[in-house]
Amino acid sequence: MITRRHLRTILACLLVFACGARLSFASLVNCDAFRSGTGSVLYLYYPNSSDSNFPNYSLGTSPLADFDVNDLDSGINESDLIDRISQLVRRHYCEFDIRIVQTRTDVGTTNPNPTDTRWQVIGIGSDSKTTSTGGTLFGVAQDVDLGDADAQDFARVWADSFGTAYGGGGGALNGANSTLERWANAIAGTISHEGGHNYGLQHSDSAAVTGEDGTNNHVLATGSTGLTGEQRTQF
């Protein structure tokens, strides 16, 4: 069976007319560039007020809380954090036919109202979520959409769950560790993780194969694969 990895390798080989070296498509394009005419659009939705119209598909995903950096760390510039998160997600999905669109009403854009055929909206609030068993929930996808059969999907991220889990004494986001880059890594990783579920990926797809980074560098890694708070904020 030809897997997604095989297809990426084949494409890279075709682009250079030879397969003498293993190449990544990401090395051949500008991952930060805005794309058009893609097969799917991924909206990163940072609301500036609580949105009760966001779908309540699982575990109390609605209302979607506003995204306010003061809930995370008042010493961080909000626009810079949002821009960095969105940049990281673009890099995570660089090899795929996906356009990443950042939506935030107070920075010149509007709430997503997709007209595309295939889209996904990920709502990012600066609130936190505790599960019924007392655990901390960082995000939840609408589905593990095997084969990406659903043309439209939603996901939800609770950004301050990282503060709840890792903001205490000695934590990965405590004190001097509470930096823009570390918050951006944690939030962007979860956005891409939940988005990956909606595109059909499972936690088992984080398992590294020969020549790849370790499992916990993959966006589908999770607590059950040994992913730690320090790794969430560094990678």
The predicted-structure confidence for 110-156, as pLDDT tens digits, reads as follows 578 888 999 999 999 999 999 888 889 999 999 999 988 999 999 99
Rg value, the chain, Cα: 18
Instruction: Give pLDDT, residue 21.
Output: 44
Q: Hey, what are 126's tokens?
A: 């600066």
Instruction: Give pLDDT, residue 35.
Output: 84
Instruction: Give pLDDT, residue 24.
Output: 54
Instruction: Give pLDDT, residue 6.
Output: 44
Confidence of residue 16 (pLDDT cuts 50, 70, 90): very low
Instruction: Give pLDDT, residue 133.
Output: 87
**Element housing 141 (H / E):** strand 139-141
Structure pTM?
0.86
Confidence of residue 108 (pLDDT cuts 50, 70, 90): low
Whether the per-residue pLDDT at 106 is higher than 90: the answer is no
Which of 31 and 155 is assigned the larger pLDDT? 155
Name the average pLDDT for the chain. Answer: 87
CA distance 196 to 190: 10
179-224 tens-digit pLDDT: 999 999 999 999 999 999 999 999 999 999 999 889 999 999 999 9
CA distance 188 to 190: 5
Instruction: Give pLDDT, residue 11.
Output: 38
Q: Are 41 and 113 in contact (CB under 8 A)?
A: no
Phi, psi of 103 (to 5 degrees): -125, 125
Instruction: Give pLDDT, residue 109.
Output: 59
Whether the per-residue pLDDT at 5 is higher than 50: the answer is no
